[in-house]
């Protein structure tokens, strides 16, 4: 059930939900659209819908996304990205997003999310039942032990969060490699990462434990080092 809900949301959010919060219009920059379509062709993807949206109404951060499933698939470019980045830089950002699609990260995230949700609920149920005798509770629904339910939920979520983030960071590295390989514009991509970190107020080098536990994306310095290492080891492919 959770998997089906995730799939349905992935299809309807870009088409019906996002327009409720942002003004989404077809991309006006013809050259950029042609670049995106050409890039999609190189990646053996079919792209028809390319839009921009007014992200500046809520934040100064820049972003782009390749979202949706099936016929709802579309490219979304924030106006904050279009106004502050060169065409090469925007292209590398999209190549990164295409990398998530080509590597099937969205589907994997849905599957992992479903698995983690099931595991969380299963453990909560078992541990909650195990805890009841310690509070002289006879029923699961007795109000005075419900805080125990919440406590187990928080503890289990804390344990699962680092595992989920490790997987997410691995996906980011894979998408970075795809972007560099597909565009051949590693300098533009490295420059883009620097600009995005500054614009989005990111921490270039957080404490290792903080990054391991809380970060779904690798820190900018680790991403740049990984890209440079990948380039040095795969010169012929780039």
Residues 176, 177, 187, 205: which is the catalytic one? 176
Q: How far from the centroid of its chain's Cα atoms is residue 37's Cα?
A: 22
138 part of the active site: no
176 part of the active site: yes
Q: Where are the alpha helices (DSSP H) in 60-145?
A: 79-84, 87-102, 105-131
Instruction: State pTM to two decimals.
Output: 0.86
Please state, in angstroms and rounded to a whole number, the distance separating the CA atoms of residues 22 and 73. Answer: 17
Please report the domains of the chain, with CATH numbers, ordered by start residue.
Answer: 2-85 (3.30.2010.10), 105-237 (no CATH)
Is 84 in contact with 195 (CB distance < 8 Å)? Answer: yes
Model pLDDT for residues 90-139, shown as the tens digit of each residue: 999 999 999 999 999 988 998 999 899 999 999 999 998 888 888 887 77
Model pLDDT for residues 134-193, shown as the tens digit of each residue: 888 777 777 888 888 899 999 999 999 999 999 999 999 999 999 999 999 999 999 999
Residues 89, 91, 97, 172: which is the catalytic one? 97
């Amino acid at each position: 059930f959770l998997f089906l809900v995730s799939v349905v949301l992935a299809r309807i959010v870009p088409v019906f939900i996002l327009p409720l919060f942002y003004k989404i219009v077809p991309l006006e920059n013809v050259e950029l659209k042609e670049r995106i379509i050409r890039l999609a062709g190189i990646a053996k993807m079919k792209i028809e819908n390319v839009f921009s949206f007014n992200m500046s109404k809520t934040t100064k951060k820049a972003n782009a996304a390749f979202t949706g499933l099936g016929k709802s698939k579309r490219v979304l470019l924030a106006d904050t990205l279009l106004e502050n980045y060169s065409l090469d830089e925007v292209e590398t950002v999209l190549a990164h997003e295409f990398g998530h699609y080509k590597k099937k990260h969205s589907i994997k995230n849905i599957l992992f999310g479903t698995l983690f949700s099931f595991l969380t609920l299963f453990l909560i149920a078992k541990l909650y039942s195990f805890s009841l005798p310690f509070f002289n509770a006879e029923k699961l629904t007795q109000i005075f032990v419900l805080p125990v339910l919440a406590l187990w939920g928080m503890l289990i979520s804390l344990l699962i969060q680092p595992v989920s983030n490790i997987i997410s960071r691995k996906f980011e590295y894979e998408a970075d490699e795809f972007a560099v390989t597909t565009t051949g514009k590693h300098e533009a991509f490295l420059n883009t990462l620097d600009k995005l970190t500054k614009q989005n107020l990111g921490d270039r080098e957080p404490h290792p434990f903080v990054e391991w536990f809380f970060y779904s994306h690798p820190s900018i310095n680790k991403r740049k080092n990984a890209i440079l290492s990948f380039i040095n080891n795969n010169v012929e492919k780039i």
